[in-house]
Chain A
Amino acid sequence: MTVEKMAFSKAINSALRASLESDPKTLVMGEDVGKLGGVFRITDGLQKDFGEERVIDTPLAESGIVGSAIGLALRGYRPVVEIQFDGFVFPAYDQIVTQLAKMHARALGKVKLPVVIRIPYGGGIGAVEHHSESPEALFTHVAGLKVVTPSTPSDGYWMLRQAIECDDPVIFLEPKGRYWEKGEVDAEGIPDGLHSARVARAGTDLTVAAYGPTVRTALQAAKAAEEEGRSLEVVDLRSLSPIDFDTVQRSVERTGRLVVTHEAPVFQGVGAEVAARITERCFYHLEAPVLRVGGFHAPYPPARLEEEYLPGLDRLLDGVDRALAY
């Protein structure tokens, strides 16, 4: 049986395992990824099976992790780097933006940088500061990087395998709040393209574009709206750089309304770009302005406030109502 029900975390683990098995150049590296299996146990058992040379516990130095991964890539390896938490990526930001993203262009294509940077991101787990952030826009703004974020175990498995096979640097954002959700993974199936969006639920009245952790919220909203006689279409963007605007456009041309939702602050976030592009592409189809529902221009709040901060079901439905009221 090729289809297996597994947790999101297990799907990521399986993808790493499959990539380590299929390509001897694949490496897994990061803080605590070895014996411990990572703080989220994503790399559980990998060092035991593939050894310390391929599943590498690194010093606690994020710039060093990414910088040395760049060197390993130049030597012909395909490092898959784990950054322990979203808020810890910033010491590596210089290496990512200044070196990793630009080196292929600097060399006029003569070197490739197949480095995947896995980052558990997003909130809702009651954590302390720096453990719940959504920094995707800080990466999507950088040419040379690809940014993707799966929302289901199946996408977690396949998108990670595709990201590892990709010859470009990929920022791989894992919605940590969804790690323990289960879903079916067909390890012998034919996956969607790494950068294509997916219609997660068909509808006719309004499109909700979501990604990563907010896809589930959007599906819940669609269900709730259905009870009120409104039909929402949910598009899971999956890839944030590039973005599959064609799929969103096709949806909005039918529904005439779009709400974009993400946990990251809405100000100059991914939703702003989606709103601008879709407004350009679908101007004569739109019955309402594109609305965004997401985080505020505030530091991610203490855990006791995060439910207020995060775009939950109620706030999303409120946005849907406002868009439908036009």
Chain B
Amino acid sequence: MTVESTSRDTARSTTTQESTDRPSAGRTRGRTAEGKPTAGKSTSGKPGPTATKSATGKPPARKATAKKATAGKTAAKKSAAKKTSASKASPKKAAPRGTAARTAPAEGPEMVQLLTPEGERVEHPDYPLTISHEELRGLYRDMVLSRRFDAEATALQRQGELGLWPSMLGQEAAQIGSGRALRADDYVFPTYREHGVAWCRGVDPTQLLGMFRGVNHGGWDPNSNNFHLYTIVIGSQTLHAAGYAMGVAKDGGDAAVMAYFGDGASSQGDVAEAFTFAAVYQAPVVFFCQNNQWAISEPTERQTRVPLYQRAQGYGFPGLRVDGNDVLAVLAATRAAAEQTRSGQGPVLIEAFTYRMGAHTTSDDPTRYRRQEELESWEARDPILRLRRHLDREGAADEAFHSALEAESDTLARRVRESIRTMPDPEPMAMFDHIYADGHTLVDEERAEFAGYLASFADHEGN
């Protein structure tokens, strides 16, 4: 007992001595906070290290591409054929590696399209769609607002408010079309780029920013909107979707489960295993692959030798390719796939053929691996511009609608800016929260130790 008390006393006195000996500057919280290389640390207004790295990268926050897209209009107009029109719209010379797959998206008879890049409505025998003007305006609004949110987030990264941002620019039709095809009781497993889908699910866009500011790793309640947390590791969430869907089937439910992933993820073993599991258990999953042509710097042909939608065949379920820049085609195809999977016929794979018009993330520099011409050819196929042309053709939206939408867009951007600037950093002790649901003695011990350590500053500063 004597020995024990001695050792305790020794320990205590050592601590006291330490805090006395160290320079007080080194014992204040301020120093720690300043020096901490946290992504998205905003107090100084300086970008975090990630942002600094990317500053060389460009391209700056992109606005809606309407202006640029008109440049491609002429080329696009020349193609009269309906389903194949888009293929001719993209000049071959645009391809940096001579890949037909990427620059001629509509080539091949199989791509579902209901709107040409010129905004002309075409029919597809398997995907009839009756849609009101009001619904068209709704889709347009969703796309415009989600693009505005996305652009605002990119700008906030440039201003140092976010450590990183993965832009969805160019993928609005794929995301809004699929997101709006779902029922409230369907369940979505996103990657980290599904900002448009989140919008459709009713997730407050400001909630998506926390992880990119570095204040949490997601943190929203997946069950409040049936929208799971963003998954950063590529393809992992497809297995969670397959398992969730197995559960839906066990429950006798008729919800559809959406597994979002990308062309890069299609190479992951987990995606292959998710296909297998969903197929053999006939689980109600719609695998929704946004083939945006680029996995950071690697083109789709570095991932696959066959069109991605054809992969489904080998697993024994249907796959189809849809024009991912055509919100109506995506809506119709996803609705049909969701209905099919709900009825117990097993999974469906949709490959939404689209284009990542921005960088992979704000840390990326796409000028190092792809040509400006390619980007321009896709800007001519801009999903928002396309629906705008259709609205104009149909006379489905008047000026009042557009100016009201612009005002709404500005309001959203303002709200996003304000919310990020008032988003608090978590308290240090928060890192010990929610590690275990049922507790863990080591966590308790370390929490208490660290709290004591933090408290020692207060003691010292009080002296």
Q: Which residue of chain A is the closest to B230 with respect to CB atoms?
A: A106
Q: Check B240–A70 contact: CB distance below 8 A.
A: yes
8 contacting pairs across A/B (C-beta < 8 A): A67-B274, A68-B240, A68-B243, A75-B246, A102-B217, A108-B219, A112-B437, A244-B441
Query: What residues of B have a CB within 8 angstroms of the CB of A70 in the complex?
Result: 239-240, 243
Q: Pick the interface stretch among B63-71, B92-100, B428-436.
A: B428-436
**Choice from A67, A144, A283 contacting B236 with Cβ under 8 Å:** A67
What's the least CB distance linking B208 to chain A, in Å? 14
Query: What residues of A have a CB within 8 angstroms of the CB of B438 in the complex?
Result: 166-168
Query: What residues of A have a CB within 8 angstroms of the CB of B435 in the complex?
Result: 104-105, 143-144
Most buried by B among A63, A73, A91: A63
Query: What residues of A have a CB within 8 angstroms of the CB of B246 in the complex?
Result: 68, 71-72, 75
Number of A residues whose C-beta is below 8 Å from B?
A: 49
Q: Check A168–B437 contact: CB distance below 8 A.
A: yes
Q: Pick the interface stretch among A93-101, A257-265, A298-306.
A: A93-101
Other than A64-B274, A64-B276, give 18 A-B pairs with Cβ distance below 8 A. Answer: A58-B277, A67-B270, A67-B273, A68-B240, A71-B246, A74-B222, A94-B270, A99-B236, A104-B437, A107-B221, A107-B434, A108-B219, A112-B437, A146-B436, A241-B442, A242-B440, A284-B3, A285-B3
Q: Pick the interface stretch among B73-81, B247-255, B356-364.
A: B247-255
Q: State the CA gap A106–B233 with chains docked (Å).
A: 13
> With A74-B244, A75-B248, A104-B436 as given contacts, are A63 and B273 in contact (CB-CB < 8 Å)?
yes
Most buried by A among B6, B218, B240, B242: B240
Query: What residues of B have a CB within 8 angstroms of the CB of A59 in the complex?
Result: 273, 276-277, 280
Say yes or no: is B203 at the interface (Cβ < 8 Å to chain A).
no
What's the least CB distance linking A184 to chain B, in Å? 28
Say yes or no: is A227 at the interface (Cβ < 8 Å to chain B).
no
What's the least CB distance linking A98 to chain B, in Å? 5
Q: State the CA gap A53–B281 with chains docked (Å).
A: 10
Q: Check A77–B277 contact: CB distance below 8 A.
A: no
Q: State the CA gap A74–B227 with chains docked (Å).
A: 12
Say yes or no: is A224 at the interface (Cβ < 8 Å to chain B).
no
What's the least CB distance linking A262 to chain B, in Å? 18
**Choice from A58, A67, A91, A144 contacting B436 with Cβ under 8 Å:** A144
Q: Check B218–A99 contact: CB distance below 8 A.
A: no
What's the least CB distance linking B346 to chain A, in Å? 15
Query: What residues of A have a CB within 8 angstroms of the CB of B274 in the complex?
Result: 64, 67-68
Query: What residues of A have a CB within 8 angstroms of the CB of B247 in the complex?
Result: 71-72, 74-77
Q: State the CA gap A141–B274 with chains docked (Å).
A: 28
Q: Check B437–A68 contact: CB distance below 8 A.
A: no
> With A111-B223, A168-B437 as given contacts, are A67 and B4 in contact (CB-CB < 8 Å)?
no
Q: State the CA gap A197–B321 with chains docked (Å).
A: 57
Most buried by B among A61, A71, A243: A71
Residues from 218 to 240 in B contacting A, C-beta threshold 8 Å: 218-223, 228-229, 231, 233, 236, 238-240
Query: What residues of B have a CB within 8 angstroms of the CB of A94 in the complex?
Result: 233, 236, 270
Q: Which residue of chain B is the closest to A108 with respect to CB atoms?
A: B219
Residues from 257 to 305 in B contacting A, C-beta threshold 8 Å: 269-270, 273-274, 276-277, 280
Query: What residues of A have a CB within 8 angstroms of the CB of B241 in the complex?
Result: 71
Q: State the CA gap A275–B223 with chains docked (Å).
A: 43
What's the least CB distance linking A95 to chain B, in Å? 7
Q: Mark A307-323, 1 if CB is under 8 A from B, else 0.
A: 00000000000000000
**Choice from B6, B7, B239, B251 contacting A67 with Cβ under 8 Å:** B239
> With A68-B239, A70-B239, A76-B247 as given contacts, are A98 and B233 in contact (CB-CB < 8 Å)?
yes
> With A59-B277, A71-B240, A99-B236 as given contacts, are A64 and B437 in contact (CB-CB < 8 Å)?
no
Q: State the CA gap A200–B117 with chains docked (Å).
A: 76
**Choice from A66, A71, A91, A99 contacting B245 with Cβ under 8 Å:** A71
Query: What residues of B have a CB within 8 angstroms of the CB of A72 in the complex?
Result: 243-244, 246-247
Q: Check A108–B242 contact: CB distance below 8 A.
A: no
What's the least CB distance linking B7 to chain A, in Å? 5
Q: Check B273–A64 contact: CB distance below 8 A.
A: yes
Q: State the CA gap A110–B220 with chains docked (Å).
A: 8
Q: Mark B1-12, 1 if CB is under 8 A from A, else 0.
A: 001101100000
What's the least CB distance linking B99 to chain A, in Å? 31
Q: Which residue of chain A is the closest to B431 with respect to CB atoms?
A: A105
What's the least CB distance linking B276 to chain A, in Å? 5
Q: State the CA gap A77–B253 with chains docked (Å).
A: 14
Residues from 44 to 79 in A contacting B, C-beta threshold 8 Å: 53, 58-59, 61, 63-64, 66-77
Query: What residues of A have a CB within 8 angstroms of the CB of B223 in the complex?
Result: 110-111
Most buried by A among B233, B248, B250, B436: B436
Residues from 397 to 422 in B contacting A, C-beta threshold 8 Å: none
Query: What residues of B have a CB within 8 angstroms of the CB of A242 in the complex?
Result: 440-443
Say yes or no: is B20 at the interface (Cβ < 8 Å to chain A).
no
Q: Which residue of chain A is the closest to B444 with respect to CB atoms?
A: A242
Say yes or no: is B43 at the interface (Cβ < 8 Å to chain A).
no
Query: What residues of A have a CB within 8 angstroms of the CB of B6 in the complex?
Result: 284
> With A59-B280, A284-B3 as given contacts, are A69 and B243 in contact (CB-CB < 8 Å)?
yes
Query: What residues of B have a CB within 8 angstroms of the CB of A102 in the complex?
Result: 217
Q: State the CA gap A112–B239 with chains docked (Å).
A: 17
Query: What residues of B have a CB within 8 angstroms of the CB of A107 in the complex?
Result: 218-222, 229, 434
What's the least CB distance linking A193 to chain B, in Å? 10
What's the least CB distance linking A170 to chain B, in Å? 10
Q: Which residue of chain A is the closest to B241 with respect to CB atoms?
A: A71
Say yes or no: is B15 at the interface (Cβ < 8 Å to chain A).
no
Q: State the CA gap A108–B435 with chains docked (Å).
A: 8
> With A109-B434, A166-B438 as given contacts, are A98 and B216 in contact (CB-CB < 8 Å)?
no
Say yes or no: is A103 at the interface (Cβ < 8 Å to chain B).
yes
**Choice from A64, A105, A284 contacting B217 with Cβ under 8 Å:** A105
Say yes or no: is A195 at the interface (Cβ < 8 Å to chain B).
yes
> With A106-B217, A107-B221, A108-B433 as given contacts, are A68 and B269 in contact (CB-CB < 8 Å)?
no
What's the least CB distance linking A73 to chain B, in Å? 8
Most buried by A among B233, B242, B435, B443: B435
Query: What residues of A have a CB within 8 angstroms of the CB of B244 in the complex?
Result: 71-72, 74-75
Q: State the CA gap A69–B231 with chains docked (Å).
A: 16
Q: State the CA gap A242–B247 with chains docked (Å).
A: 31
Q: State the CA gap A180–B247 with chains docked (Å).
A: 35
Query: What residues of A have a CB within 8 angstroms of the CB of B233 in the complex?
Result: 94, 98-99
Most buried by A among B251, B269, B277: B277
Q: State the CA gap A70–B247 with chains docked (Å).
A: 11
Q: Check B440–A71 contact: CB distance below 8 A.
A: no
Q: Check B217–A167 contact: CB distance below 8 A.
A: no
Query: What residues of A have a CB within 8 angstroms of the CB of B442 in the complex?
Result: 241-243
**Choice from B219, B239, B436, B440 contacting A106 with Cβ under 8 Å:** B219
